[in-house]
Amino acid sequence: MRARVLVVDDEAEFRSLICDALQMEGYATSEAADGVEAIDVFRAVAPDAVLLDLQMPRQHGLLTLGEIRTIAPEVPVIVLSGQGDIAVAVQAVKGGAFDYIQKPPEFERIALSLRQALEKKRLEGEVRRISTALDSSLGNRFGASPAIREVIERMKQVAPTDLAVIVQGETGTGKTYVARAIHELSRRSAMAFVRVDINVIPLSLAESELFGVRKGAYTGSDRDRLGYVAGANGGTLFLDDIENIPLEIQAKLLDVLETKRVCPVGGGEPLALDFRVIAATNRDLHRCVTAKSFREDLLYRLGEFVIDIPPLRERPEDTLFFMDVFLLEACTEMGRHVRGYSVAAADMLLSHPWPGNVRELKNVVRRAALLAPGDLVETGQVHFIARGEESVPGDQPVHSLREAVHEFEKKIIRQALEKTGGNKSRVAELLKMSYPSLLSKVREYGLNE
């Protein structure tokens, strides 16, 4: 379809000349003799651009510009001004006009300005289309609640930058998915996304795993090996469970983040790197700083931008959303034909506090889809591994599920330390925890004594 231009001017001969020239350039045209008529024609034909005179009877061009901007702010308006209108024309540009051209105009100048205005309009429309599609895609991945829409907006804001990001949230809220989405939306999306799970790295190997090692640095190092940090060169380094990184390594990590240079274990020439860092935690890192288990300067270096993911129990809209999403996924995967939930089963799921958040909900729905005998999930197929309320002792009011979990965790670790006579390696084995994670929790809860 040809672009349509509305020409607004009180001089009929001038309008006719401009419209003829525009039609020869391939444009469709409409005309209006003054500002009042212009608004009526604008509503009727929905032009792609407007050429607007300022000095006209019945309504000044500035008022007409204001009305057009209110009706359709994306439509570019090019102001045509007489010799005495220059100051007013500048005012019009400040008020949203795309350009102003002094009368009598050279047609080549009008044609050039129109092409630029329409191209800008096209690009802005494409950006809006992509942004809408992106919002829809992210919403399908993360949820539809106002709280999650705010998280998505913050992801979109920070993704194009190289700011270091901390993603905070309880276990199972989707911190890894958020980190990966930020990477995918960034200029580094074609490069590596390197996830480092701090919990699974043995303490004795943490430095070499992160920063690399030179051949012969220690027994068993029979070749040069790049660490995780160098492996993320050009892309994104994602440090999961950052609160558990050994304290003695935090200083070197801070130096690497500051200088973007890494020196492998065993020495040698430092490697210059270019990467973006995202860290995730389910802890309050300020409490870890107070407990002397996390460096304050590292916290502020990593936390140039912070994204908090609210727990699922605080956004029931997303519980309902993911109930449907996960049921469809499970049925597709397992070849089941379960179309929904009974009212009682849905009530059970919506009233559950979800201490394991989205991860727990997904597991519960998958089990229910497998066990459902008919086309509806009933209460008999809804099984929770552990009810959140059972983690809260006595009849005390629940001020914070996280605080209750921390108190329970502290109690269990203390009992295990007493049972083993303070042997932390044995405690880690008993509790099926990594040794660095146990040390971090011992420091956080003040259990060193």
Q: Mean pLDDT over residues 172-199, rounded?
A: 91
Phi, psi of 317, deg, nearest 5: -60, -35
Q: Predicted confidence band at 399 (pLDDT cuts at 50, 70, 90)?
A: very low
How much of the chain is helix, strand and coil, in % rounded to 5? Answer: 55, 15, 35
pLDDT for residue 398:
39
Token pair 């009233």 in the structure block, residue: 351
Residue 367 is encoded by which pair of tokens? 């089990």
pLDDT for residue 391:
34
SS3 for 376?
Answer: strand
239 strand-pairing partners: 196, 279
Domains assigned to the chain: 4-125 (3.40.50.2300), 145-308 (3.40.50.300), 312-385 (1.10.8.60), 395-444 (1.10.10.60)
Q: Mean pLDDT over residues 74-82, rounded?
A: 87
| pLDDT tens figures, 29-63 | 999 999 899 999 999 989 999 999 888 888 888 88
Largest CA distance in the chain: 101
- Measured between alpha carbons, how far is 274 from 233 in angstroms, rounded to an integer? 5
Sequence-distant (6+) residues with CB within 8 A of 80 are 9, 51, 52, 53, 54, 100, 101, 103, 105
| pLDDT tens figures, 304-342 | 999 999 999 988 888 988 898 889 889 988 888 898 999
| pLDDT tens figures, 81-133 | 876 667 777 788 888 889 888 888 888 888 899 999 898 888 787 666 655 55
- Measured between alpha carbons, how far is 243 from 246 in angstroms, rounded to an integer? 8
Sequence-distant (6+) residues with CB within 8 A of 266 are 213, 214, 215, 216, 217, 218, 221
| pLDDT tens figures, 212-259 | 877 755 656 656 778 899 999 999 999 999 999 988 899 999 999 999
pLDDT for residue 260:
92
CA dihedral (320, 324, 326, 328) in degrees, to 10, reads 180
pLDDT for residue 221:
61
pTM for the model: 0.59
- Measured between alpha carbons, how far is 174 from 164 in angstroms, rounded to an integer? 18
Q: Predicted confidence band at 429 (pLDDT cuts at 50, 70, 90)?
A: confident
Q: Mean pLDDT over residues 63-70, rounded?
A: 89
Q: Which residue has the higher pLDDT, 41 or 134?
A: 41
- Measured between alpha carbons, how far is 21 from 101 in angstroms, rounded to an integer? 16
Q: Which residue has the higher pLDDT, 203 or 246?
A: 246
Per-residue pLDDT for 389 more than 50? no
Radius of gyration of the chain from its Cα atoms, rounded to whole angstroms = 31
- Measured between alpha carbons, how far is 56 from 392 in angstroms, rounded to an integer? 76
